[in-house]
Structure 1
C-alpha cells in the first residue's frame, strides 16, 4: 500500500475541515480524488505532503509518517499543484532544470526534452510571460521528468487546452504501465473517468464513497428512453424513478438491481424503441451533491 490515511482530522479554528478521512491507494493504481470546493481535497493533500500538521488520525506514504518523514517521502514522489507560482525572472527551462536537480537527478539525463516536445512548450521564455496553462506545463514536465514512485496531482490540467489534456492523460497511463502510483485530484469528472482505476468522493470533510469506478457505477441508476404505442404506467413497478413523458418518448431511471424486472414489465406494452445509457461518474457525483449548497474554503 502506497498511501494509507486513517481517521484523519484537521481543524482550522472552529471549522472542522476533515472529520475522519479514510483513504488507501495501492501500488500501481490511479485513484481519482473528487469533490467540490471546500470538501477537503486540498487540505487532505497538504497533510499528505507534510505541509500541515494533523489534529488526529494517521497519514502515511510508503509506510512513513507524512509530517515527521516528509523529507524522505518527497525524495520518492512528485507533486503538481493546481496553481503554479514560478520565479518571474527565470526561464521555464531554468525552472524545470532546478526542480529536476532538487530531486537529485541530472536534467541532461532526464526525459525533459521529450516532454517539452510533447507539451509543445517553449522553455526559453521568462516565466513572467507565461499563461496559466504554460505554468502548469512547467510543473508537469518537471514532475514527470524524474523517476518517482508516486505522483500526487492536484487539479494538474487547470489552464491546459483539450489537446494538452489528452497528452497529460496519455502520460499518466504510461506511468501506470510502468507500475507507478497516481493520486489525482480533479473536478473534471470525464478526465477521472477516463484514466482512473478507483475513485474516492469527499463531502464535507468525509469520504462518502470509494472503490473501483466499475463497481461504483453499479450504485447509480441507468437512464431509459422508451417509445411506446400506449401510455406507460409504472405505479406497480419497483426501482423506477424520475418518469418524464415528452411527446411519444418516456424518460426514466432504473436502479441497477431492478433492470431485469423493468424490462420484463415493458414486455406488456407495444414498445417501438428502447435505449439505455450507462451511468457515468458524473451521475454518481451528482447523486451525492444534489441539493447541497455550493462554495466553501
Structure 2
C-alpha cells in the first residue's frame, strides 16, 4: 500500500486556544480512515489544514509526499472534497454546478456523473436556490464521486441525506476502496464509520485519544454477555470482572472486559449453562463509553 496522507505531531493554535495538539495519523491507498469526534473536537480544523486552507502552527502534514501548505495547488489536482455544508450559486442549475466543479477539477468520468445523478435520484435541471440541504449535498457528492482522484476527503458528507441516499454513498465509498483509492471520512454517523472504515481515529479536544483498527480498539473495551442457566446465576455478583449485572430469574446480562473472559467462564463453571452469548461493543458504544470515562475524570 502507498502512503497517501501522513500527519505527524500536527498543532494548530488560534491565539491562545490550541485547536490541534500533536495530531498524528496516516492513510494508505485502498484504505478508509474514519475521523470521529464531537463538534469542536478538531475534525474540520484538521481537514482544513490538509486542504491547505489554514497553516499549521507546527508539525508535519503531507499528501502524496508533498507539503499540504506549500504545494496545495499541486495536491488539489488529485483530491476530491465534500464539506458538511455546501453553498451553491443560486441562479445556476444543479447540473450546471456539477459540470463546473468537474471542469475545475480536470479529470472526470461523464458516464459516472450521469449514473450518480440517477442513483442519487437528483434533478439537475432545477435552480440551486430551490434545493434542500440534502440536494445541495448531492451536488457536491456527485461532483466528487465522478472526479478521478487518488484521495477523497469527506467531512460529514451525508448530512441532510435520507437513509436510502446514505446507502448509495456507502456503496460508492466501497467502490472507491476496491479501486485502491484512499478515503478520509469524518462522520457523526458511527454505524457508517463502523461499516466502511479500516482504521478509526477518535479526536477529543484537539487530541487523538484512540487510533487503530476497530478490532485493535475493541480489545480495550467490554463485551456484552447474555447467559441462561438452570438456576439463578447470583454468584456473578461476586466476580470483580463483571460490570452492570442484571439478573432476571435464570437469565443474566452483564459486561466484562475482553481480557477477563476466562474469569467469566470460571465463575459460570458452578452453574449448568443453557445458553451463552457474547458480542463486542459497537463503535457507538465504544465512543460513548470512552467519553463517559473522560468526562468522569475531569
**Same fold by TM-score, threshold 0.5 exceeded?**
yes
Please say if residues 9 and 17 of structure 1, whose CA atoms lie closer than 8 Å, have aligned partners that are also in contact.
Answer: yes
Q: CA offsets per residue over residues 2-35 of structure 1, 9 Å max, x none?
A: 1111111111122111111011111110110001
Q: Determine the structure 1 residue equivalent to 2:281.
A: 279
Please say if residues 238 and 258 of structure 1, whose CA atoms lie closer than 8 Å, have aligned partners that are also in contact.
Answer: no
Aligned-pair Cα RMSD in Å: 1.6
Q: Determine the structure 1 residue equivalent to 2:20.
A: 18
Q: Determine the structure 1 residue equivalent to 2:177.
A: 176
Change (3 A) 1:24 1:106: closer
Please say if residues 233 and 247 of structure 2, whose CA atoms lie closer than 8 Å, have aligned partners that are also in contact.
Answer: no
Within 5 Å, give how 1:10-159 maps onto structure 2: 10-105=12-107, 109=110, 111-159=112-160
2: CA distance between counterparts of 1:126 and 1:19? Answer: 43
2: CA distance between counterparts of 1:120 and 1:230? Answer: 55
Are residues 1:213 and 2:204 paired? no
Q: CA offsets per residue over residues 6-65 of structure 1, 9 Å max, x none?
A: 111111122111111011111110110001111110100000011111111111111111
2: CA distance between counterparts of 1:47 and 1:3? Answer: 12
2: CA distance between counterparts of 1:211 and 1:86? Answer: 36
Are residues 1:290 and 2:292 paired? yes
Q: CA offsets per residue over residues 81-136 of structure 1, 9 Å max, x none?
A: 001000000000000000000011367x4521111011110000000100111001
Please say if residues 230 and 270 of structure 1, whose CA atoms lie closer than 8 Å, have aligned partners that are also in contact.
Answer: no
- Aligned-partner SS, 1:2: strand
- The alpha carbon displacement at 1:139 in A equals 0.2
Partner residue of 1:256 out of 258, 264, 268: 258
Partner residue of 2:241 out of 239, 247, 259: 239
Bigger mean CA deviation after superposition, 254-263 or 236-245: 236-245
Please say if residues 223 and 276 of structure 1, whose CA atoms lie closer than 8 Å, have aligned partners that are also in contact.
Answer: yes
2: CA distance between counterparts of 1:77 and 1:242? Answer: 46
1: CA distance between counterparts of 2:107 and 2:271? Answer: 69
Give the length in aligned residue pairs.
292
TM-score of the pair, normalised by structure 2: 0.93
Bigger mean CA deviation after superposition, 263-272 or 56-65: 263-272
TM-score of the pair, normalised by structure 1: 0.93
- The alpha carbon displacement at 1:234 in A equals 3.4
- The alpha carbon displacement at 1:258 in A equals 1.3
Q: Determine the structure 2 residue equivalent to 1:8.
A: 10
Q: Determine the structure 1 residue equivalent to 2:228.
A: 227
